[in-house]
């Protein structure tokens, strides 16, 4: 089976055109077909269009992503109202329990990402997974910390990720494995990313899904929702006018 590989968290400094070109060229050479780049909420439509062109020139599909890091539940709700229809991928960086709970149950959120603060400050647990399983959110794991951390710190992170991924799978919650990298030297081939995922408990099939079907499915679903003909899941306007 041929997989379409995606990296939904390529942290490109898109204002640096030369660096962006190097990063997307390398991603394409490694075998990715789709990438998403986190952009500032105020990014203009023309700037997003230019990024699409840059990626298209090297054979990559581009998805616009926004990383939200609200300080409260109300701030998250306000950001979602303003930004959901502007971006194809919406990720919430969960740094407090209040925010993580709200993000998990809100169907406008695509990805739940838990930054590496400290091992006691990560809030992904069974309550979180149960809320997310009833919505559309997916757990995102960035591999960058596994590449740069060493010794006991990396061991503790792996133990934490194993617990979180086990909980996600128990509640049939999707997992997306992204790079989270900002330098070309840290980029890895999609199957190497899948191999890293095996370190925190994903079997080979689930690991490949985490770098292919799962991220690609998020972008496909949101593009359908953002299209002008979308009415509801499975319902589209094919033709409008007096003749209908």
Sole residue written with tokens 């306000």: 78
pLDDT band at 242 (very low <50, low <70, confident <90, very high): low
CB atoms within 10 A of CB 239: 7
pLDDT band at 107 (very low <50, low <70, confident <90, very high): very high
pLDDT at position 2 is: 85
With 50 as the cut, is the pLDDT of residue 230 above it? no
| CA-closest candidate to residue 137, choices 55, 242, 221 | 221
Rounded to an integer, the average pLDDT of 2-21 is 92
pLDDT at position 47 is: 93
With 70 as the cut, is the pLDDT of residue 119 above it? no
Residue % of the chain over a pLDDT of 90: 79
Overall residue count recorded for the chain in this entry: 244
pLDDT band at 103 (very low <50, low <70, confident <90, very high): very high
pLDDT at position 231 is: 43
pLDDT at position 240 is: 60
pLDDT at position 217 is: 97
Bridge partner residues of 232 (DSSP): 235
pLDDT at position 238 is: 52
Sole residue written with tokens 């006018």: 241
pTM: 0.90
Helices 126-133/97-105 angle, 10° precision: 30
Sole residue written with tokens 């919430």: 92
List, in order of start, the domains of the chain with CATH numbers: 6-236 (3.20.20.140)
Residues 6 or more apart whose CB falls under 8 angstroms from that of 20 comprise 12, 13, 14, 51, 54
Sole residue written with tokens 């609200």: 70
Please, what is the Cα angle at 35 between 34 and 40, to 5 degrees?
145
Rounded to an integer, the average pLDDT of 1-6 is 89
pLDDT at position 239 is: 60
Rounded to an integer, the average pLDDT of 45-49 is 94
């Amino acid at each position: 089976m041929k997989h379409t590989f995606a990296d939904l968290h390529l942290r490109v400094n898109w204002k640096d055109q030369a660096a962006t070109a190097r990063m997307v060229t390398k991603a394409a050479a490694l075998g990715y077909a789709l990438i998403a780049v986190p952009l500032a909420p105020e990014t203009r439509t023309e700037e997003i269009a230019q990024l699409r062109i840059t990626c298209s020139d090297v054979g990559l599909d581009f998805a616009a992503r926004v990383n939200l890091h609200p300080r409260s539940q109300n701030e998250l709700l306000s950001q979602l109202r303003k930004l959901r229809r502007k971006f194809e991928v919406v990720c919430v960086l969960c740094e407090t329990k209040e925010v993580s709970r709200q993000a998990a149950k809100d169907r406008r959120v695509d990805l739940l990402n838990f930054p590496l603060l400290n091992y006691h400050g990560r809030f992904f647990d069974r309550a979180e997974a149960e809320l997310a399983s009833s919505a559309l959110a997916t757990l995102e794991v960035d591999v960058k910390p596994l590449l740069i951390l060493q010794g006991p710190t990396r061991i503790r992170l792996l133990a934490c990720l194993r617990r979180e991924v086990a909980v996600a799978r128990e509640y049939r919650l999707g997992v997306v494995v992204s790079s989270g990298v900002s330098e070309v030297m840290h980029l890895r081939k999609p199957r190497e990313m899948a191999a890293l995922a095996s370190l925190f408990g994903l079997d080979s099939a689930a690991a490949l899904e985490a770098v292919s079907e799962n991220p690609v499915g998020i972008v496909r679903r949101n593009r359908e929702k953002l299209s002008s003909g979308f009415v509801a899941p499975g319902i589209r306007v094919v033709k409008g006018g007096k003749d209908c």
